[in-house]
Amino acid sequence: MEPLLGKTLTELQEIIAQLGMPKFTAKQMAQWIYEKRARSVNDMTNISLTNRQRIIEAGYEVGYEDPADAAVSKDGTIRYLFATQAQKHIESVYIPDHDRATLCVSSQIGCKMNCYFCQTGKQGFNGQLTTHQIINQIFAIPESKSLTNLVFMGMGEPLDNYDNVLRALEIITAPWGLAWSPKRVTVSTIGQMKYLPLYLEQSQCHLAISIHSPYADERLKLMPVQQAYPISDVLDLLRQYDWSHQRNLTFEYIVFRGLNDDPRHAHALIKLLAGLQCKVNLIRFHAIPNVELETSDMDAMERFRDILNEHGLTCTIRASRGEDIYAACGMLSSMKREGINTK
């Protein structure tokens, strides 16, 4: 059976046309799927019984796929595991925080980018998620209706699965879909220049860039993508856009003890980002197996933050969530679920 969850309005219209049904049926279906959260075609009661049966007989279902497993952190964070093709799995993370409820969404099974500090990269790349698999993470969790924000910061590089991610963003923000403001959604990228210009033209959702060092040689050791897409080229592109309203630009900076957490790096980062309307998120490194990097202490992170703020560059320290269930930044991996030794 082919899932309807994850179809855009245009795709639903094509299905309806192929089945010879009235054009307005597509909008009815979209309303049932995305607004009313119907789990069965037979729940779509303003579509005739005959037409509902034709949809089912044509091989379509709504297509919810519930999580295969869940782990709950002592801080309330929940890590969900979803099964995908070829007995592979992905993870997404629900993060409650007072009046906010954020879901960290995955876009790929594993990741090609192989950043040195990231457990997902150690897993390798095992396939692209379909639009259905991306949207299903949002709809299938018990907390779905309470979500206030989405961040594409889970497993994978979102812009390396651009078409499916863009369709997912359309469903999330379109009036016929979830009808969310783009301000509630952030897409995080290592600076994948092949699709970054398209994203900036085709979406109004917020953008986060992983930077982690202001020095090209150091960044290359942490992030092989620096070779193909130098951060200087990424910044040249970003400077062509107006960041003074609507969409936010954030730089994510994982802080490592003795590597990138000193005043020299802080001042170099200020110089590198000069002229951009942006903010910097400092992120504590979460240790993973076989990686010889250490977590910076809070005093160093606060000193780094204060230097940036004193020079007019807005900087915050992101609270670490879900580390005890391996759900914190850089820790997502389904290798243990699939019997792969991660020690």
Mean pLDDT of the chain: 93
pLDDT-derived band of residue 341, with 50, 70 and 90 as boundaries? very low
Q: What confidence score (pLDDT) does residue 180 get?
A: 98
Three-state SS annotation for the chain = CEECCCCCHHHHHHHHHHCCCCCHHHHHHHHHHHHCCCCCHHHCCCCCHHHHHHHHHCCEECCCCCCCEEEECCCCCEEEEEECHHHCEEEEEEEEECCEEEEECCCEEECCCCCCCCHHHHHCEEEECCHHHHHHHHHCCCCHHHCCEEEECCCCCHHHHHHHHHHHHHHHHCCCCCCCCHHHEEEEECCCCCCHHHHHHHCCCEEEEECCCCCHHHHHHHCCHHHHCCHHHHHHHHCCCCCCCCCCEEEEEEEECCCCCCHHHHHHHHHHCCCCCCEEEEEECCCCCCCCCCECCHHHHHHHHHHHHHCCCEEEECCCCCHHHCCCCCCCCCCCCCCCCCC
**pLDDT above 50: residue 56:** yes
pLDDT at 217 over 80: yes
Q: Which one of the listed residues 91, 104, 115, 278 is annotated catalytic?
A: 91
Amino acid at position 171, single letter? I
- Give 343's pLDDT tier (boundaries 50, 70, 90): very low
Question: For residue 169, what are its two tokens?
Answer: 């963003």
Please determine, for residue 336, whether its predicted confidence score (pLDDT) is greater than 80.
Answer: no
Mean pLDDT (whole number) for 312-319:
95
Residue 54: predicted pLDDT: 97
pLDDT confidence of residue 333: 66
Q: How confident is the model at residue 326 (pLDDT cuts 50, 70, 90)?
A: low
- Determine how many CB atoms are found less than 10 A away from the CB of residue 204: 14
Residue 298 confidence (pLDDT) = 95
Lowest-pLDDT range of 37-41, 71-75, 337-341: 337-341
| Spatial separation of the C-alpha atoms in residues 112 and 125, rounded to whole Å | 5
Q: Which of 111, 205, 315, 329 is catalytic?
A: 329
Mean pLDDT across the stretch 325-333?
62
Region 123-144: mean pLDDT is: 96
Percent of the chain scoring above 90 in pLDDT: 87
Q: Model pTM? A: 0.94
Q: 331 or 108: which carries more pLDDT confidence?
A: 108
Each residue's pLDDT tens digit, 65-77: 999 999 999 999 9
Please write the tens of the pLDDT for every residue from 255-267: 999 999 999 999 9
* 115 is an active site residue: no
pLDDT value for 340 = 41
Cα angle: 200, vertex 205, 206; to 5 degrees: 90
Please give the structure tokens belonging to residue 304: 């780094």
CA distance 96 to 221: 34
Residue 241's pLDDT is 93
Predicted pLDDT at 334: 62
Identify whether 329 is a catalytic site residue: yes
Residues whose CB falls within 8 Å of the CB of residue 339, separated by 6 or more in sequence, listed in order: none
Pair of tokens at residue 183 = 């301000």
Cβ-defined contacts of 84-89 (< 8 Å, 24+): 84/109, 84/127, 84/129, 84/133, 85/109, 85/127, 86/126, 86/127, 87/338, 88/126, 88/127, 88/334, 88/338, 89/334, 89/337, 89/338
- How many degrees, rounded to 5, is the angle at CA 36 between CA 33 and CA 40? 55
- pLDDT bin (cut points 50, 70, 90) of residue 87 is confident
Which residues face 93 on adjacent strands? Answer: 79, 104
Give percent of the chain above pLDDT 70. Answer: 94
